[in-house]
Amino acid sequence: MSKPKIGVVGYGTIGQRLADGAAPQGDMELVGVVDVAPTLALRALHESGMFYKLYLVDPARKPEFDEIGIPVSGTFEELLEQIDVALDATPAGIGAKNKELYKKHGVKAIFQGGEKSEVADVFFHGYANYEKGIGQNFLKLTSCNTTGLIRAVDAIDREVGVEKIAITIIRRVADPGDTHRGLVDMLKVDPVPNHQAVDLMMIMPHVDATGFLVHTPITHGHIISIVATPRKTISKGTLLDIFRAHPRIRVVRIADGFNSNTALFKYARDLGNKRGDMYEIAVWEECIGFSGKDILFAINIPQEAVTIPETVDGVRACLSMQTDRLEAVGLTNQYLGLESGR
Amino acid sequence: MSKPKIGVVGYGTIGQRLADGAAPQGDMELVGVVDVAPTLALRALHESGMFYKLYLVDPARKPEFDEIGIPVSGTFEELLEQIDVALDATPAGIGAKNKELYKKHGVKAIFQGGEKSEVADVFFHGYANYEKGIGQNFLKLTSCNTTGLIRAVDAIDREVGVEKIAITIIRRVADPGDTHRGLVDMLKVDPVPNHQAVDLMMIMPHVDATGFLVHTPITHGHIISIVATPRKTISKGTLLDIFRAHPRIRVVRIADGFNSNTALFKYARDLGNKRGDMYEIAVWEECIGFSGKDILFAINIPQEAVTIPETVDGVRACLSMQTDRLEAVGLTNQYLGLESGR
Amino acid sequence: MSKPKIGVVGYGTIGQRLADGAAPQGDMELVGVVDVAPTLALRALHESGMFYKLYLVDPARKPEFDEIGIPVSGTFEELLEQIDVALDATPAGIGAKNKELYKKHGVKAIFQGGEKSEVADVFFHGYANYEKGIGQNFLKLTSCNTTGLIRAVDAIDREVGVEKIAITIIRRVADPGDTHRGLVDMLKVDPVPNHQAVDLMMIMPHVDATGFLVHTPITHGHIISIVATPRKTISKGTLLDIFRAHPRIRVVRIADGFNSNTALFKYARDLGNKRGDMYEIAVWEECIGFSGKDILFAINIPQEAVTIPETVDGVRACLSMQTDRLEAVGLTNQYLGLESGR
Amino acid sequence: MSKPKIGVVGYGTIGQRLADGAAPQGDMELVGVVDVAPTLALRALHESGMFYKLYLVDPARKPEFDEIGIPVSGTFEELLEQIDVALDATPAGIGAKNKELYKKHGVKAIFQGGEKSEVADVFFHGYANYEKGIGQNFLKLTSCNTTGLIRAVDAIDREVGVEKIAITIIRRVADPGDTHRGLVDMLKVDPVPNHQAVDLMMIMPHVDATGFLVHTPITHGHIISIVATPRKTISKGTLLDIFRAHPRIRVVRIADGFNSNTALFKYARDLGNKRGDMYEIAVWEECIGFSGKDILFAINIPQEAVTIPETVDGVRACLSMQTDRLEAVGLTNQYLGLESGR
């Protein structure tokens, strides 16, 4: 039996990383990527010499690519003829339009968090509700903050149960190099509850959640402060054990120099990770506290890459490649080099 | 009987505002301010034409003041001979040294939050523990974040009781114009619990508190997210009523344009407040949520001026000018133009 | 003869300051201001108790103002019936539409730099080309950077002649509290030449100018680095004398603590200036250098208030209140409290 | 004949990159790196699995490395016994102390720009004064800004001659992850001339130079605006040809998306360059202008990696590996993958 074939639609911040995350999955085949214009991302891909096959939304723009020597392999629809699943990382709203094409070509699709929930059959998280995605045609991934948040809360919930959470999201306002959004010398507040708390309750309906969100003028990762009421009392040691056992969570220490979101970005750069990316969320060992039996802890969300593993999990689910949750996420982790104990 | 006489020691960010806050108190007399060098703050005071009498720590530096025409009224110790209470706003550590001089001259003193607690007989907050400061010689004010935080928590506590809180402080890293501290594109984390949670428990020992703190690259105010477990269930309406009744709390709405800490700073500038200062903390009407019976809400701390009213309260307490808490804070508020209902 | 009557159209960042700058002009009368919605700026004006008469663009929105107790004195056109000159500080593009109303009501108008040049009969700067504005109906002010830049270049030009300049503008990307623009951790570049160099040549056609502009993530003032080739050699001392003699230029020293744009903002706050505003540009005494006979120097542009004096000059010009340039700017300066020698 | 042996002393931001730049030089051998403590940089190196041999300044700290499993190969002096040249990237001031050890062990050394000039026999730049470094024992590299600046100015100078320059440096205040320095919402100015202009004149004594420097709150690269008076008139086309022919200069276009220093950093990340580093400075095609015969242009300095190639050139010079300047820099470029025409 041949490997399932994957295409990445939209080669922006997330699309670039979906391609790089899908390519090494030994039991899948990345056929190519789709984009509109000769962006810097495509120029860099071309200059780097490690080119994915490129398909164009609008073939009339091919001359722009010819001029700078970027090879084009065909059209968006020609790619759709070859693939089983589209990883749609287009700007919010475009995915809903693309869905008609996916239906026409009998292609399954996984949308990112910016898309409206109605676009999908299931709102999906690899660890928290893998089973719900099995065999479905259209999945929507949780957003970057929600994906990382659920990793942590789901891990606690499976061990001792989580009754309720109240979160404070300290959010990066733009990605590095993004000129379309930005704030200067300002903390901008959103109404309570934030969508991440609401979204978490859709994936984990047995947890009561609310949350406050502040936009901050930084680019290298969100930080979320979580006040969680567990169903059973839990010690700091047990909590750390739960986190250390999770291949997509990294426990770090301020004492070792991990004093900020940017220290984590710098560390990922120094690891030699492509683009300085990190798939794991981080938990600070020294930032765990208790208020009565409530737990207070903080996580770091590397917003550019954090949803990649759960998106790959989504491929496994919608194609019924694995029916066991832990087997599925385990394979994703293995191909991405993610191990527990960090 | 003559009015009690006040001196301000250290004419930096806080000292400037202490002088401007003490001067209009109709039942006190501001004798003068003390500083070391011809700083920009003193040059501005001089250029503005509204000069306070200036006393020097080191009279040998008087020629530097003469050269630019800033009049000097005497030495630090000469000021101490004339005053009843010193408001010490010197850099952390200097206050402890100054204390020997205060003792020598029989002067009471109120230290700011940067000083170590041992320096004072009482750790003081005008609203929360006014009575403890009555007749004492040395008070230490809570820090800017703690002062604002306690205003809000004490107000709830007096109405329905507060069992415990878990706070997330999103902290400005530097004051406007401060070149000594700063962060770029970074959220820097501190270990849990932060000192503000610990300090709150010293003032309000019946509340269990913990907290997480993140330094952010902004200058115009801290934001604190508070998850509080009240002893009795409380509605959003009642909570807003409590806040609106507090003369040092301002309830604002995102819908009106108060979308950030900086919008509050801009508003204070537009009010014509000197330096764009604000004594009140702000609570966002739309940023109140519930997780079970726990309340989630957020406050803004205008760090440059927030401690001024409580410091003036401290004068009233240590000199036993009023023995009733509400009478004391009410007079401070009246002279500062602070009314409830904002 | 009665005083000429002035209206301010658009009560945003610039409009607020135009009103505050026009009000104290002893030989003019500020009739009122025009705006659209109950903004924070109007709420602050109302809360401050120092209210200007308010006229509405759309009378149907009056109930929104009634609800919060802000008095409304009439409509935009009702104001136009009462005034001689409109100071138009509406967002870019609106001024051109308003011009039809100004014509209809026989009202002269002064537009700000955001408006297209075609809107006006003359592109105006109080110091550099006052005479060209005399008696005209529609003036357009130079933008904030260009206004400040021309002050400095014109002052040198009148003394020794300026052959050419090459400027580097290090630009604040947003005003304090502005959430619509912003950059994070980024220097964004514009093509050469920037509009400020081109605009300067329109006002000073005998100077050859080019320039590079970089947007930076700050809010408190632009800095411009200027390389100027004078027609006669000039010494640093003479240059400083020229600047010190200019009532709208302030010479400052890093050694005194003026180490940044923000130190200047802080100083203006400490002066007690409303909103911490400054009309003067600043020149750093230590930031003057020579490359051959070329001069290198740097100025600070307080973007929120810098154009106010030249706009008031424009009223004097278009109404032919004074025909002598120095008499006109001198009166503006006198009413604004601007003196040379700072 | 065996390859010359190299050691890197100090494994911080520059040291990490010196090791990664020296390792691929086919005609040199990187023996190992020296550091003091188990920093994040060393932890990342270890976790990445691509370990350099590590030597310790203080062998008493070896247990700290043992505890986390980082292998230690010996002491600083033991490394010095094995190498011919030390690339010293220690904090400013330490290099001068290390020099005694280098002398003791007969090892040549290349210091970075932070060190005082007296430490070295020659102030060195690979392109501009390679010949002066030949056979010397101690070289000091120009700083990051000066290195990039000289690349551009030297290239023009060799073609048409440069009479004088006046530069404006818009400087990143901290490296990503650096918590020790920082500015918020501030442009901080330095006195004129900046050290980079002075340093350029030491390397290129026939050029008259002055400069102004502004610190800005960003982390991803400096931008320098240069006003240069060439000895012969030069067209934009010729200037671009000169830059395009330089293997360490990359000509980019705003129109293609290179609108900022951060777009360049993002591009380098997308290229898959380790840490998102870039050795080349960039010149913006659209940011070239003329003021009379003076040229105005702007360059981007990727501060973390820009000095690496010239440091490797220094090895070639001090060991007399090549006596021809172009042969030497050409080999460095070849091993680093730097080609002209970008």
CATH number for the domain that contains residue D166: 3.30.360.10
- Active site (annotated) includes residue B318: no
Q: Which residue of C has its CA nearest to B264?
A: C177
Structural domain contains residue B180: yes
Which residues neighbour C297 within 8 Å (Cβ) at sequence distance 6 or greater?
C152, C225, C226, C228, C239, C283, C284, C287, C288, C289, D192
pLDDT at B63: 97
> Within chain C, how many helices (H) and strands (E) appear?
12, 16
Structural domain contains residue A342: no
What is the average pLDDT across B252-270? 98
Q: How far is CA B72 from the centre of its chain?
A: 28
Size of the C and D interface in Cβ pairs below 8 Å:
167
pLDDT at A161: 98
pLDDT more than 90, % of chain D: 94
CB B11 within 8 A of CB B33: yes
D216: tokens are 């800005």
pLDDT at B269 over 80: yes
Angle B8-B13-B18 (CA atoms, 0-180°, nearest 5)?
A: 35
CB contact under 8 A, B184 and C179: no
**Which residues of chain C lie closer than 8 angstroms to B48, CB-CB?**
270-272
Weakly modelled stretches of chain C, pLDDT under 50: none
pTM of the model: 0.97
Is residue D113 domain-shared with residue D214, that is, in the same domain?
Answer: no
pLDDT more than 90, % of chain B: 94
Helix locations, chain C, DSSP H: 13-22, 40-48, 62-67, 76-80, 94-104, 130-133, 144-160, 195-203, 236-244, 261-271, 308-318, 325-336
CB contact under 8 A, C45 and B270: yes
CA distance B62 to chain C (A): 16
pLDDT at A273: 97
How many residues are given for chain B?
342
**Catalytic residue chosen out of the listed positions C45, C89, C144, C301:** C144
CA distance C50 to chain B (A): 9
A176: nearest CB among D266, D272, D275: D266
Instruction: Give the confidence band of B246 by pLDDT, cuts at 50, 70, 90.
Output: very high
Report CA torsion sign: B250, B256, B260, B261: negative
How does pLDDT run across D84-136, given as a tens digit for each residue?
999 999 998 899 999 999 999 999 999 998 889 889 999 999 999 999 999 99
Q: Whole-angstrom Cα distance, residue B130 to residue A286?
A: 35
What is the average pLDDT across D41-54? 93
Is residue D52 domain-shared with residue D150, that is, in the same domain?
Answer: no
Residue A338 DSSP symbol:
-
Neighbours of chain A (3+ CB pairs under 8 A): B, C, D
| Amino acid found at C272 | G
Is residue A55 domain-shared with residue A108, that is, in the same domain?
Answer: yes
Is residue D95 domain-shared with residue D148, that is, in the same domain?
Answer: no
CB contact under 8 A, A182 and C177: no
| A9 beta partners | A34, A88
Structural domain contains residue A282: yes
Which residues neighbour B241 within 8 Å (Cβ) at sequence distance 6 or greater?
none
CA distance A39 to chain D (A): 7
What rounded mean pLDDT belongs to chain D? 96
Q: Whole-angstrom Cα distance, residue D245 to residue B290?
A: 64
What is the average pLDDT across D6-10? 98
Q: Whole-angstrom Cα distance, residue D77 to residue D32?
A: 12
pLDDT at D276: 97
- ipTM for the predicted complex comes to 0.96
Q: Each residue of A166-183: b (16+ CB within 10 Å) or e?
A: bbbbbbbbbbbbbbeebb
Mutation target among C14, C42, C270 for the B interface, most CBs of B within 10 A? C270
pLDDT at D316: 98
**Which residues of chain A lie closer than 8 angstroms to B288, CB-CB?**
192
pLDDT at C2: 84
Is residue D294 domain-shared with residue D254, that is, in the same domain?
Answer: yes
In what order do the strands lie in the sheet containing B85-88?
A: B74-75, B54-56, B29-35, B5-9, B85-88, B108-111, B138-141, B122-124
| Amino acid found at D80 | L
Is residue D134 domain-shared with residue D211, that is, in the same domain?
Answer: no
Q: What are phi and psi of B77, to 5 degrees?
A: -70, -30
Which residues neighbour B133 within 8 Å (Cβ) at sequence distance 6 or greater?
B122, B124, B139, B313, B314, B317, B318
Size of the B and D interface in Cβ pairs below 8 Å:
45
CB contact under 8 A, D44 and A267: yes
pLDDT at D340: 79
Strands B108-111 and B162-172: unpaired
Is residue B133 domain-shared with residue B166, that is, in the same domain?
Answer: no
CB D32 within 8 A of CB D53: yes
B307: tokens are 């401690």
Could you list the active site residues of A? 144
Is residue C93 domain-shared with residue C200, that is, in the same domain?
Answer: no
Instruction: Give the confidence band of D51 by pLDDT, cuts at 50, 70, 90.
Output: confident
Give long-range contacts, CB 8 A cutoff, 24+ apart: C22-27: C22/C87, C22/C312, C22/C315, C23/C52, C24/C335, C24/C336, C25/C312, C25/C315, C25/C331, C25/C332, C25/C335, C26/C335, C27/C3, C27/C321, C27/C331, C27/C335
What is the average pLDDT across A56-60? 97
pLDDT at D342: 66
How does pLDDT run across C164-208, given as a tens digit for each residue?
999 999 999 999 999 989 999 999 999 999 999 999 999 999 999
How does pLDDT run across D281-335, given as a tens digit for each residue?
999 999 999 998 899 999 999 999 999 999 999 999 999 999 999 999 999 999 9
Q: Which of A64, A11, A7, A62 is nearest to A41 (CA)?
A: A11
**Catalytic residue chosen out of the listed positions B144, B263, B268, B336:** B144
What rounded mean pLDDT belongs to chain A? 96
Structural domain contains residue D321: yes
Q: Whole-angstrom Cα distance, residue D281 to residue D264?
A: 10
| Amino acid found at B77 | E
Q: Which of B137, B128, B210 is nearest to B169 (CA)?
A: B210
Report CA torsion sign: D110, D113, D114, D117: positive
Strands B289-291 and B294-301: antiparallel
Structural domain contains residue D88: yes
Q: Whole-angstrom Cα distance, residue C13 to residue B269?
A: 11
CA-based max dimension of chain D: 65
Q: Whole-angstrom Cα distance, residue D83 to residue A314?
A: 53
Instruction: Give the confidence band of B51 by pLDDT, cuts at 50, 70, 90.
Output: confident
Instruction: Give the confidence band of B1 by pLDDT, cuts at 50, 70, 90.
Output: low
pLDDT at A50: 73
Is residue C24 domain-shared with residue C125, that is, in the same domain?
Answer: yes
How does pLDDT run across A204-242, given as a tens digit for each residue?
999 999 999 999 999 999 999 999 999 999 999 999 999
pLDDT at A321: 98
Query: What is the residue whose two structure tokens read 């990696």?
Result: D305
Is residue B138 domain-shared with residue B203, that is, in the same domain?
Answer: no
Which residues neighbour B193 within 8 Å (Cβ) at sequence distance 6 or greater?
A289, B209, B210, B211, B212
pLDDT at C342: 66
CB B256 within 8 A of CB B300: no
Which residues neighbour B206 within 8 Å (Cβ) at sequence distance 6 or greater?
none
Q: Which residue of C has its CA nearest to D225?
A: C168
Strands D281-284 and A29-35: unpaired
Residue range of the domain that includes B215: 144-301
CB B205 within 8 A of CB A241: no
pLDDT at A245: 97
Structural domain contains residue B341: no
CB C1 within 8 A of CB C81: no
Q: Whole-angstrom Cα distance, residue C46 to residue C38?
A: 10
Report CA torsion sign: B307, B309, B312, B313: negative
> Within chain B, how many helices (H) and strands (E) appear?
12, 16
| Amino acid found at A79 | L
Strands C289-291 and C294-301: antiparallel
What rounded mean pLDDT belongs to chain B? 96
How does pLDDT run across A136-167, given as a tens digit for each residue?
999 999 999 999 999 999 999 999 999 999 99
Neighbours of C4 (CB within 10 A): 18
What is the average pLDDT across B304-322? 98
Query: What is the residue whose two structure tokens read 């023996």?
Result: D31
Structural domain contains residue B50: yes
Q: Which of D330, D307, D220 is nearest to D268 (CA)?
A: D220
pLDDT at A99: 97
CB contact under 8 A, C270 and B185: no
CB A278 within 8 A of CB A304: no
Q: Whole-angstrom Cα distance, residue A147 to residue A196?
A: 9
Is residue D260 domain-shared with residue D163, that is, in the same domain?
Answer: yes
pLDDT at A1: 60
Is residue A87 domain-shared with residue A222, that is, in the same domain?
Answer: no
Structurally, chain D folds into a number of domains equal to 2
C269: tokens are 């706050």
| Amino acid found at B297 | F
Query: What is the residue whose two structure tokens read 């039942």?
Result: B27
Helix locations, chain A, DSSP H: 13-22, 40-48, 62-67, 76-80, 94-104, 130-133, 144-160, 195-203, 236-244, 261-271, 308-318, 325-336
| B296 beta partners | B227, B289
pLDDT at C117: 87
Structural domain contains residue B18: yes
Instruction: Give the confidence band of B162 by pLDDT, cuts at 50, 70, 90.
Output: very high
